[in-house]
Amino acid sequence: MKKIISILTGILFSISILLAQEASPQAFSFKAVITSRLGIPIANRTVYLQISILKDNSGGLPVYIETFSPTTNEYGQVDIEIGHGTLVSGNFSTIEWSEDEYFLLIEYRLRPSN
């Protein structure tokens, strides 16, 4: 089952930093806490993440999509570098960060536990 994580402040801050840079970034750090529907952190579990960078608005077309399979820590946190995942589509290095607005769509599902 896929769930969407919204972290508005972090996304806006990350995009602001990217826009302030002169050269296009090769990747940027992203941290999230994976929780259940009840808000309880999901600790020490491998999760499947799909990261989409959408152009123009939160319902825009994806210009870049990648996946990750990190394991959460004891607090349910994962740390990834967007731009260094497993490529699904697009080219991270050709995104024109200063030309348009971009939004992150973060989707995840749990891997079956053993």
Q: What is the pTM of this model?
A: 0.74
Residue 15 DSSP code: H
| SS3 of residue 36 by DSSP | coil
Q: In terms of Cα–Cα distance, which of 37, 42, 91, 99 is closest to 63?
A: 91
Dump pLDDT digits (tens) for 10-49.
555 566 656 655 556 789 999 999 999 899 999 999 999 9
